[in-house]
Amino acid sequence: MNDAETPVRELMDLVLRFSRERDWEQFHHPKDLGLCLAIEVGEALEHFRFRSEEQTREALADPALKRELAHELADCLWALLRLADVCTIDLSAALEEKVALAAVKYPADLASGRSDKYTAYVRGDEESEPDDPEPI
């Protein structure tokens, strides 16, 4: 498997099959899967805690450390996939919709190179002159 060739549904089915073989579906409720996801994200973040950007780059150059992080990220993905599946969320459609919504909140001409929240540069009526076209 690899990212370029593996559909999200195939990944969902992989972790579902694994769970069913162990009779774990009984434990896979949205709350528990959400908690699992939060915990796994915390474990992934431990790889960056107290490290500078340079130290992080150096750590990721070590194949063993990079593999540990990859396993933590896989745990996050596992929990996310199960949560989405249990809640019948189409992740691909949800992501596509979210990107479209974000494009409206963060127009490229205003947000490019900026890390501040969209409210810091929203075009609004307070900046409009009476003869200006309607704000976006």
- What does the chain come to in residues? 136
pLDDT level of residue 30 (50, 70, 90 thresholds):
very high
Q: Which residue has the higher pLDDT, 75 or 104?
A: 75
pTM of the model: 0.82
All residues at 6 or more sequence positions from 60 whose CB lies less than 8 Å from its CB, including other chains: 66, 69
**Side chain identity at residue 102, one-letter code:** A
Question: Which pLDDT belongs to residue 14?
Answer: 97
Question: Which pLDDT belongs to residue 44?
Answer: 97
Query: What value does the mean pLDDT take over residues 58-65?
Result: 96
**Side chain identity at residue 85, one-letter code:** D
pLDDT tens track for 47-56 = 999 999 999 9
Distance, in Å, from the CA atom of 99 to the CA atom of 106, rounded to the nearest integer, reads: 10
pLDDT tens track for 116-129 = 888 887 655 444 34
Structural domains in the chain, CATH included, are 8-90 (1.10.287.1080)
- What DSSP state is assigned to residue 135? P
Q: Which residue has the higher pLDDT, 10 or 110?
A: 10
Question: Which pLDDT belongs to residue 19?
Answer: 97
Query: What value does the mean pLDDT take over residues 87-102?
Result: 96
Question: Which pLDDT belongs to residue 123?
Answer: 59
136 pLDDT exceeds 80? Answer: no
Least confident range from 37-41, 77-81, 95-99, 125-129: namely 125-129
- Continuous H helices in 46-87: 53-61, 63-86
